[in-house]
Structure 1
């Protein structure tokens, strides 16, 4: 079993992000491919998701950490 068959994942095709002017927050909407949908259906989109600024900063830090790890592991193969 390879890493891609352990669970179903939804490849991200893009996103929209911007400030939520009435709050100290950002909104994010992701485009993604549903692997179980008919091919002709094309990319799907999530609803807009709200992130308080502190949570958004933590997300950036977590993404950076995991990118560094993935890059490091990719050079070891």
Structure 2
């Protein structure tokens, strides 16, 4: 059995992604769309409100990673 080395360099940011995903997952659900548009843009605001001390670049990373996680978990969405 081979062990894959950890590629991530910022493990604390990875923990924030996991934490934030639980909060912002509903914004990626097409069933929660408003006038045919997803509410993904609101995820940015919620992350900034819930994690006010992180830099804007990390907010972008968190929302982008969460988007990919949602799509991986819900391929038909």
Fold equivalence (TM over 0.5): no
Using structure 2 for the length normalisation, give the TM-score.
0.29
TM value normalised by structure 1: 0.29
Higher relative contact order (CA 8 A, sep 6+): 2
- Greater CA radius of gyration, 1 or 2? 1
More helix, by proportion? 2
